[in-house]
Amino acid sequence: MTQELITISPIDGREVVRRAYASETQIAQALANAQSAQPAWHALGVQERGRLVSAAVDRFVEARDEIARAITIQMGRPLRYTPGEVAGFEARARHMIAIADEALAPIPAPPQAGFNRYISREPIGVALTIAPWNYPLLTAVNSIVPALMAGNTVILKHSDQTPLCAELIERAFRDAGLPKGVFQYVHASHEIVQRMIRAPEIGYVSFTGSVRGGRNVEESAAGRFIGVGLELGGNDPAYVRADAKIEHAVETLVDGAFFNSGQSCCGIQRIYVAKPLYDEFIERAEALTRAYVLGNPLHADTTLGPVVRTRAAAEIRGIIAEAVSAGAQNMIDPSHFKEASESSPYVAPALLTRVNHHMRIMNDECFGPVVGIMPVDNDEEAIALMNDSPYGLTAAVFTQDEDAALRIGRQVRTGTFFMNRCDYLDPALAWTGVKNTGRGVSLSAVGYEQLTQAKSFHLRSV
């Protein structure tokens, strides 16, 4: 069994991080430290926990440039964009801190003479966050900060592709003065993580990743009766109605499809366009796509970086080739992007027309800069196609008619429904999904419910 992780940068194939995996003894110590620290952490109260977690966010944001560069080097997103993920981490963290007092407040029962009745929200104990590489800060903060604010202790296991992110988060919490054991990270193999999930100290698991990975988490937690939050990806659709502002729709959706080289669970992968707008939409989308600059993400002019690794690029190219062989047309000539290469992680963006729902691009997740576009006759056809997917993370409609958007949104099976935007997460709203996207909720006041245990107090005066 491999005893260490090695992170290979997709920029140039060089090794950028090497770390030993935690031993069984180290894992046992981390679990013990988290469990022993939790009661005192909870006893501090929401206000003091908020002060310490806020101080950690301050420390983290102060290191913005260092963190942004670490993200770029490890997973390849252009450096012009990675500071935005630090800002997103801060925004989500500060929102969850701000609402914690109200979200965690006891729930009073209706008054009854001679009785004091209420429901308190108690911490579950130790939370394990398993975070992926594609948005290494944003996926982690969704559970880390609310878990801590709720009085839990947290152990973070980050992807082997982005281990520096775990270390930098831990450094900020340590520098802010959090007590020992309240927040820890471990670098661990899949086998060790599965054993951690089975450990009696763990009371909740938050996992963001693939459907296969989510199944492994559920299987490891089976019979333990603990909470499991799973965010497992998407095949997210958008519908451009005939009354849409087409320039806005094209700009928003092309960015929603290709930002982060398409490596976003809530990125746009399927676009349905009302027939009167279809030709103009394709023409505008082609022009905008050709304006991307594919190249070294450390260069200031690069707007599209490599995907995470060469074998992922090969899978993406295979999905494109499969669609084309089945009748699809790629409106973008890959040779326009000089850095694109069959033997590298640099993938040219693809706009696929003449697609159908028998093609993988339209019915399964493709984690790359590829989008399929279909014309539709009406709202009913668009709704049926949007729902024809095993996933359900987000969906979007572009229209100037809010009533129509609400009518469509109520019929689309999804976790978040947008009007005139996409590929976005609002920390004041519940982040959740349906079907193979998983189960559970993070962020918003509702997100605190998974990280706490209801406890009823029924007090009678005699």
| CATH code of the domain containing 342 | 3.40.309.10
395: left (phi over 0), alpha (psi -120 to 50) or beta: beta
Q: Are residues 453 and 335 in the same domain?
A: no
The C-alpha angle 246, 252, 254, rounded to 5 degrees, equals 95
pLDDT tens-place string over residues 412-446: 999 999 999 999 999 999 999 999 999 999 999 99
Is 133's pLDDT higher than 80? yes
Q: Are residues 143 and 45 in the same domain?
A: yes
pLDDT tens-place string over residues 20-70: 999 999 999 999 999 999 999 999 999 999 999 999 999 999 999 999 999
- 385: tokens are 């196609």
User: Residue 198's domain spans which residues?
Assistant: 4-232+437-460
Spacing of C-alpha 43 from chain mean position? 31
Q: Are residues 343 and 284 in the same domain?
A: yes
**pTM strictly above 0.75:** yes
Q: Are residues 257 and 394 in the same domain?
A: yes
User: Residue 69: helix, strand or coil by DSSP?
Assistant: helix
Q: Of 46, 412, 440, which Cα lies nearest the Cα of 239?
A: 412
Phi, psi angles (nearest 5°) of residue 371: -140, 140
Q: Are residues 240 and 352 in the same domain?
A: yes
Please indicate, yes or no, if residue 248 is contained in any of the structural domains: yes
- 275: tokens are 């027939």
CA atoms within 13 A on the CB side of 141: 30
How confident is the model over 285-290, as a mean pLDDT?
98
Phi, psi angles (nearest 5°) of residue 109: -85, 160
Q: Are residues 228 and 245 in the same domain?
A: no
User: pLDDT over 90 for what percent of the chain?
Assistant: 99
**What pLDDT was estimated at residue 267?**
97
Please indicate, yes or no, if residue 58 is contained in any of the structural domains: yes
How confident is the model over 208-216, as a mean pLDDT?
96
Please indicate, yes or no, if residue 203 is contained in any of the structural domains: yes
How confident is the model over 198-207, as a mean pLDDT?
98
User: What CATH number does the domain containing 183 carry?
Assistant: 3.40.605.10
Please indicate, yes or no, if residue 357 is contained in any of the structural domains: yes
Q: Which residues contact 287 (CB under 8 A, 6 or more apart)?
A: none
Q: Are residues 244 and 352 in the same domain?
A: yes
Q: In sequence order, which ranges of 79-137 are alpha helices (DSSP H)?
A: 82-103
Q: Are residues 228 and 146 in the same domain?
A: yes
Q: Are residues 217 and 301 in the same domain?
A: no
Cα–Cα distance list, 271 to 168, 256, 274, 437, 442 (Å): 38, 11, 10, 19, 27
d(CA 36, CA 16): 35
Q: In the chain, count of helices (H) and strands (E)?
A: 15, 22
Q: Is 231 a catalytic residue?
A: yes
- Number of compact structural domains in the chain: 2
* Element of type H or E holding 371: strand 370-376
**What pLDDT was estimated at residue 167?**
98
Please indicate, yes or no, if residue 285 is contained in any of the structural domains: yes
Exposure of 320 by Cβ count < 10 A (0-12 exposed, 13-18 middle, 19+ buried)? buried
Q: Are residues 320 and 396 in the same domain?
A: yes
d(CA 455, CA 328): 56
Quick count: other Cβ atoms within 10 Å of Cβ 342?
11
d(CA 104, CA 454): 10
- 326: tokens are 């089945």
Do the Cβ atoms of 53 and 151 come closer than 8 Å?
no
What are the strands, taking DSSP E only, across 15-88? 15-20
End-to-end CA distance of the chain: 64
Confidence at 233, pLDDT banded by 50, 70, 90: confident
Options 201, 231, 365, 449, the catalytic residue: 231
**What pLDDT was estimated at residue 231?**
96
Long-range (24+ apart) CB contacts under 8 A made by 337-343 are 337/292, 337/294, 337/304, 338/294, 339/294, 339/295, 339/296, 340/294, 342/317, 343/310
User: Residue 72: helix, strand or coil by DSSP?
Assistant: helix
Q: Are residues 366 and 259 in the same domain?
A: yes
d(CA 147, CA 144): 5
Please indicate, yes or no, if residue 344 is contained in any of the structural domains: yes
Q: Are residues 263 and 227 in the same domain?
A: no
Please indicate, yes or no, if residue 432 is contained in any of the structural domains: no
Long-range (24+ apart) CB contacts under 8 A made by 413-417 are 413/387, 414/236, 414/386, 416/266
**What pLDDT was estimated at residue 1?**
52
Do the Cβ atoms of 88 and 138 come closer than 8 Å?
yes
Confidence at 2, pLDDT banded by 50, 70, 90: low
User: Residue 36: helix, strand or coil by DSSP?
Assistant: helix
Q: Amino acid letter at 298?
A: L
Decide the pairing of beta strands 115-123 and 452-460.
antiparallel
pLDDT tens-place string over residues 252-261: 999 999 999 9
